[in-house]
Structure 1
Amino acid sequence: MTMRLTAFVSGRVQEVGYRARVIDMAIALGLKGMVVNMKDGRVKIIAEGEDEKLKWFESAIDIKNALIHVSSIEKNYSSASGEFDQFGKLVAKGETDTRLDTAAVYLKELLFAVNNMNDNLGGKMGQMLGKQDELLDEVRNMNDRLGGKVDQMLDKQDDLIIEVKDVNRKMDRVLETDIVELKSDMAEVKSALRAKGII
């Protein structure tokens, strides 16, 4: 039976990618409808589709992660109107432009702070480089006094670095294999869900 779910979602749900996640889930479930930010800070969702898929969708839109935090969902079920051809996002006029303008302001502030930091560190960087040269001279003198022991330590350090890189390469291969297996398992799960008509 085709139904309509109208949901008003409260919490940290605007400007955190919530609508994009809702769209992805709705499309995966074959639902039609729309999602839009409201002026009061909530997000309105209208989704139409099979009753069982709407129940899955209802639980899926209750997202809580590092960026998104749904605190409550007011929901209402009614008969589907069939007015939607697909699932999409309604965007208020200037909405994207406003976010880009805000990002540009933050970027300018960041550039200003970095430039100030470079100016403030200007003299100190020269002092640090001078100290580094002094330290290198001391290490060379110590190496001469110790009969080349520092050079031997550095050679052993290089060998250790090579071993660590080799271990990292081996770990990367193991992780790649695990990822391939996980993708294969996910494909099987999706296939099973499709077979049952869930997605």
Structure 2
Amino acid sequence: MKRLTAYVSGNVQHSGYRARVTDIARMLGFKGTVENLDDGRVKIIAEGDEDKLRWFEEAICIKNSLINVSSIEKEYSSQRGDVNRFYKLAEKGETDSRLDTAADHLKSLIVAVNCMNDNLGGKIDQMNDNLSSKIDQMNDNLSSKIDQMNDNLSSKIDQMNDNLSSK
């Protein structure tokens, strides 16, 4: 059993990084902590099987739309056994501030979705009007064509009757 101390740089604070690291560490059965540092990095202490820790090193190098790890400084040492599970350290008031930020983002998202729905409703109304107009035009054209066919057919029947009468 070994102890990994890692200092992770990049876009790793206020991005959900610590929660992802916590999930991975718990899945692997590690004990330790993950915390934000004042310099913008994240510090991870993980204790567990050395082979799993090597895999963990790769797993914490996360790059997605929110998280972008640019570098990881790693240091291995002997296990200390001073923690009994893996958990995320948070500063006092951090959760409240995050919830306030999330609520603001949610409000903005709701406004954007409502605007999109209003715009979409207007577009659907326009499409319905255009479609209705096109259907009316098609009905008029079809009626005209049917009238022409009826006139032609009537004329042909009259000609056939005249031909039969003369014979």
Q: TM-score, normalised by structure 1?
A: 0.59
User: For the structure 1 residues 146 and 86, does the alpha-carbon distance in structure 2 shift closer, same or farther, using more than 3 Å as the test?
Assistant: farther
Distance in structure 1 (CA, Å) of the matches to 2:24 and 2:127: 54
Instruction: Give the unaligned 5+ runs of structure 2.
Output: 147-167
Residue 95 (structure 1) shift: 2.2
* Corresponding position of 1:177: none
Aligned to 2:149: none
What is the aligned partner in structure 1 of residue 54 from structure 2?
Answer: 55
Partner of 2:155 in structure 1? none
Look up the SS of the partner of 2:2 in the other structure. strand
| Structure 2 counterpart of 1:103, one-letter code | A
Aligned residues: 146
- The runs of 5 or more residues in structure 1 that have no matched partner are 148-199
Q: How does 1:133-152 map to 2 (within 5 A)?
A: 133-145=132-144
Q: 1:71 to 1:133 in 2, by over 3 A?
A: same
Q: CA deviation at 1:65?
A: 2.8
Query: CA 1:134 to 1:71, structure 2 compared with 1: closer, same or farther past 3 Å?
Result: same
Displacement after TM superposition at 1:129 (Å): 5.3
For residues 1-199 of structure 1, the aligned pairs below 5 Å read 2-112=1-111, 130-145=129-144
Deviation of 1:6 after TM superposition, in Å, equals 0.8
- Give the AA of the match of 1:88: Y
> Closer, same or farther in 2 for the Cα pair 1:142/1:14, shift >3 Å?
farther
Measure the CA separation in 1 of the matches of 2:52 and 2:121: 61
Query: Which residue identity lines up with residue 49 of structure 1 in the other structure?
Result: G
One-letter identity of the residue aligned with 2:97: T
Identity %: 59
CA deviations 1:101-146 (Å, max 9, x no partner) are 1232233334455666788899988776554433332232234345
Q: In the aligned structure 1, how far is the partner of 2:99 from the partner of 2:14?
A: 12
Max radius of gyration: which structure?
Answer: 2
Change (3 A) 1:8 1:125: same
> Displacement of 1:16 after TM fit?
2.6
| Larger RCO (alpha carbons 8 Å, 6+ apart) | 2
Distance 1:140 1:96, change over 3 A: farther
Q: CA deviation at 1:86?
A: 1.0
